[in-house]
Structure 1
Amino acid sequence: MLVVFPTLVKTTFIERPNRFILLVKREDTGEQIEAHLPDPGRLKELLVEQATIWVEYVDKSSRKTSWTAILCETKEGNLVSLQTTIANKLAETAIREKRIPSLRKWSIEKRECKVGSSRFDFLLKNDQGKKRLLEVKSVTLSRTGEGFFPDAPTARGARHVQELTKLTEQGRYEAAILFVAQRNDIRSVAVEAIIDPAFAQSIMEANQANVQIVAVSTNLSKDKIAIGQEIPFLI
C-alpha cells in the first residue's frame, strides 16, 4: 500500500512544451532541464508560474529525458502526485491487504482484464464466486478540499463507465469504480460536470445501475505515498 520515492530534486516550473514534457529550473544549480510528465491531464491549476516541481533523476539511455516529474507543490504547501499509474499500484496493494472497507470482501483475480473491446484495470472475485470489474481513476484537481474528476474531457473514460454499466445491467459482471485522490488536501470526490458533462452523465447512470463508486484519500509526502482512508464520493 506504499510507494517510496527516491531522492527528489526541487525545481521551479517554467513551461510545458507538450503534454508529456516540462521545462523546469533546478533550485540547487540554476540549470534548466526537461522532465517527463507522467500525467497527460490539463493540470492548469497546478502548472502555474513559479510552481514547485519535485523531479527524479532516471539513468536510462533509452529515454529522451533524464528526469521525471514526481510531485507538484501548490502555493499553499499541498503536495500532488504527477504519476497517474501510481493509483493502480496503490489500489492493487490496498485491495490485497483489505485496506478499503467497501472492497474488503474482494480479491484480485487478474490485472488488465479484457472484456469485449475494452480493457479494465482489474478483475476481482469474492468467496461466493462472483466476478467484479474495477476501473481506477486518479484525482488531482481540487477546490477547497473537494476533489474533482476529470480535469479534461475523457471520451475513453466515459466509454469505460458506460460499458461497466451495460455489463452490470446484463448481469455478466458486477462493477466498481475507484477514485484515488493523489493529493493530501482532498476530503471528498465528485465529478467535474462542467469540464466533462458526458462523463458526469455516465457516472450518474452507472450509479443508478448499482455500479459501486468508491473514493479514497492518500497520505502523501516528499518520501512516499500510501492509501489513506475511504472518503465520500458525492453524486
Structure 2
Amino acid sequence: MILIEKKGLVSGFLIQRYKRFLADVRLEDGSVVTAHTTNTGSMKTCWEPGDRVLLEPATNPERKLKFTWLAVERPGGWVGVETGMPNRVVAEAARRDVLPGLTGLREVRTEVKYGAERSRIDVLAQDAEGRQVFIEVKNTTLKEGNWVLFPDAVTERGTKHLRELQAMVREGHWAAIAFFVHRTDVDRFDAARDIDPAYSAELDRAAQAGVAVLPLAVHLVTRQETSGLWALGWELPGLLPWAPRR
C-alpha cells in the first residue's frame, strides 16, 4: 500500500553535495542545477558522485533553489534523503491504522508540544482505550553490512527525546521510537554504538522502561512515467529485527 506518492519528479546524476544544504545535479538534458537537501546530517553511505537522484521541482516560482533532493539510487536500491517524509508517512500510516507495531490508533496529530524539556512529539495519537501514544520518528539511513544504524553522528537532541519518551511511560502513557529505515538494502537494525555510545545506552534504557522500539522497513516505489518524469511512493511493509551487532 502506497501511503504517500509524489509525481512529476526530475531525474539526474549527482555531482556533489556540499555545505550541508546543497547538491549539484546534472539533469538528463545535460544542464546542471543546485538542489536543496533537507538532510543536514552526515549522510554517510547514502551517496556517491554519479548516483541517480530524484528531484522535486519547487511549486513556488520565487524560491531560490528550484529543486529539492528526495532520493538517490545506490547499488542495493533506493535511499530516501528528504527528512520531512518520515513524519508524514508515519502519521498517514497511523491515520489509516496500518502502522507496523502500533495498531488501533486514532485522533492522530503531529508536532505537538510536550515534556519537561520542551520538545515537540512527531506524532501524537490515542489508542482504543483513550491513552495517549507518543511516537518519535527518526530518519535512519546509515548502512554497515546488512545493518542499518542510528544515529550517523552524535545527537544530544535525540538522547533528550529518549528521556522524554521514558517520562511519558512513567506517567502512564504509551511511547514509541520509530526508526524510519529509509533504504531497501538492509535487513536488521541496531544503534550506532561506536558513533554515539550515550544515545545507544539511552535507547537500551528506554526499551527496558517500556518504550516500543520500531525499526520500520520502508519500501520506496519508483516508476518512470510516459512523460519521462518520475513518481516516488512510500510503503511500510513491516518491521526489521533489532539485532545487536555485538
Would you say same fold, with TM above 0.5? yes
The residue that corresponds to 2:236 in the other structure is 227
Provide structure 1 residue ranges, at least 5 long, that are not aligned to the other structure.
Answer: none
TM-superposed deviation, 1:186: 2.7
- 1:115-146 alpha-carbon deviations (Å, 9 max, x no partner): 13111112221222222211011111223332
- State the identity as a percent: 28
Normalised by the length of structure 2, the TM-score is: 0.86
- 1:138-168 alpha-carbon deviations (Å, 9 max, x no partner): 1112233321111122211111111211332
Asked whether 1:55 is paired with 2:55, we answer yes
Q: Following superposition, which runs of at least 4 residues in structure 1 exceed 4 angstroms of deviation?
A: none
The residue that corresponds to 1:14 in the other structure is 15
TM-superposed deviation, 1:172: 4.6
On the 8 A contact 2:100/2:216 being kept in 1, the answer is no
Cα separation, partners in 2 of 1:4 and 1:45, compared to 1, 3 Å: same
Normalised by the length of structure 1, the TM-score is: 0.90
Matches within 5 A, 1:25-174: 25-26=26-27, 28-74=28-74, 76-115=75-114, 116=116, 117-169=118-170, 171-174=171-174
SS at match of 1:89: helix
Range with greater deviation from structure 2 (172-181 or 204-213):
172-181
CA–CA separation in structure 1 for the residues paired with 2:194 and 2:62: 40
CA–CA separation in structure 2 for the residues paired with 1:215 and 1:52: 26
- 1:45-90 alpha-carbon deviations (Å, 9 max, x no partner): 223222222212224233220011111111x151011111111111
- 1:101-122 alpha-carbon deviations (Å, 9 max, x no partner): 4211332443222113111112
The residue that corresponds to 2:225 in the other structure is none
Matches within 5 A, 1:169-180: 169=170, 171-180=171-180
Equivalent residue pairs, number: 232
SS at match of 1:41: coil
Counterpart of 1:149 in structure 2: which amino acid?
F
